[in-house]
Chain A
């Protein structure tokens, strides 16, 4: 029973990471620059460095890439109290 349950969970995690790895290769070569313009000119060392994180957090990046969204502006008590930054969309 335990072996079956754990086997199923390990398989699920492996599938998640396999999809993530395929996505990550596409993202670091094409998508990163769309989501974050600074990344468009990133070195190959940089792309390799973010690849594991892209594989792990692929649903977040896939959604942002698909919707054409940019990185959000951080939220702090002062930014919330001040309202949108000048020039913000």
Chain B
């Protein structure tokens, strides 16, 4: 995972990303407070700030949840994915500000510990309509804290990408908790149907986008294996597709051994690697060959096609698969070779 750890591996793209994010958040907060003061002159600054931070965090969560499926639908959205973790950390701090101000305003000056008061000031846990909404928000904040606190690459390496990703799937738990937090809290206090429509539209957008992207991806997986998919053609190899169906410097993605395999064509040769990047398990098969290396579309991690290993001094490596060409058709041995044991490559003309 790189050669040394820094707090942030700054580069021009990340700086631009973060500056844009900071400016957007600042403009949103200022506009919310400004418009709020104009529409409700009697509202206190604390109330406006609580709502500004809360709505900013909730809106940003919708953006974050949209990036993954949008990237699966079109590579044009990949620049948003590049630094998505900073969006998550920013959202956590917005939520933290919302929670801290709320606790100060509503729980700090009682006889009970403020954190205890969050859970006990409304004890109607058996009543759906009057269910305490604040503990739901606090629970979401705990999940978001765990995600923000483990967002550094150190955690990716030490938890391993599959565990890290499973932990970060907690964002969906947080989203569910926050939808209920908003529905049982702010929506109960507001008379205008606009807020109900906005929250409902956000929920429909997130659910619809995920279902649509998943459907498209499943269809692509089915189509990717070609008409003769899985048909064994001898020596344990299976037919995949015609050589000409793979563009130069790009991959054909097929499913084998329970996961996607990327068969890359580059400079008149073919090589196959597991399509799972070791960094964040990004889709290697959706990348390109740049400077002779398979390059992950998510964060630019690179692998030599023949060996599945990152070029020195980097140490990432992925399993490889033997591939060959017979009568103009690409054939794959679906038995993966261990990472670090190269399966080699072959010429597109069929020679070794």
Contact = CB atoms under 8 A, between A and B. Distances in A.
Contacts of B119: 2, 6
B236 to A, nearest CB: 13
Given A43-B6, A72-B160, A87 B319 contact: no
Nearest to A36: B158
A7 B336 CA distance: 53
A79 B275 CA distance: 12
Given A6-B119, A76-B276, A77-B257, A82 B7 contact: no
B339 A82 contact: yes
Contacts of B154: 32, 36, 39, 42, 46, 50
A77 B116 contact: no
B317 interface: yes
A50 B123 CA distance: 36
Given A38-B3, A45-B7, A85 B338 contact: yes
B274 A49 contact: no
Interface string B131-156: 00000000000000110111010110
A36 to B, nearest CB: 6
A62 B118 CA distance: 32
Contacts of A45: 6-8
Given A78-B259, A82-B339, A86-B339, A53 B149 contact: yes
A51 to B, nearest CB: 9
Nearest to B256: A78
Nearest to B309: A86
B336 A81 contact: yes
Contacts of B257: 77-78, 81
B302 interface: no
Contact of A56 (B8, B146, B152, B157): B146
Interface residues on A, range: 35 or more
Interface residues of B, number: 47
Contact of B150 (A6, A57, A75, A82): A57
A56 B92 CA distance: 15
A53 B120 contact: no
A85 B341 CA distance: 7
A72 B210 CA distance: 31
Nearest to A76: B276
A45 B278 CA distance: 24
Contact of B5 (A38, A53, A61, A87): A38
Contact of A78 (B1, B149, B336): B336
A89 interface: no
A15 interface: no
B113 A7 contact: yes
Contacts of A52: 145, 148-149
B115 interface: yes
Contacts of A38: 1-5, 157
B348 to A, nearest CB: 24
A11 to B, nearest CB: 9
Given A41-B4, A48-B7, A78 B276 contact: yes
Contact of A86 (B146, B149, B341): B341
B335 interface: yes
B316 to A, nearest CB: 10
8 contacts: A36-B158, A38-B5, A49-B152, A74-B160, A78-B276, A78-B336, A79-B274, A79-B339
Interface of B: 1-8, 112-113, 115-116, 119-120, 123, 145-146, 148-150, 152, 154-155, 157-158, 160-163, 257-259, 261, 274, 276, 278, 281, 317-319, 335-341
Given A38-B3, A75-B162, 14 more contacts: A2-B119, A3-B116, A7-B116, A46-B7, A55-B149, A56-B150, A73-B160, A78-B258, A79-B338, A81-B257, A81-B336, A82-B338, A86-B338, A86-B339
Give the 7 A-B residue pairs with the shortest CB-CB distance, closest first. A45-B7, A86-B340, A77-B258, A74-B160, A53-B149, A42-B5, A82-B336
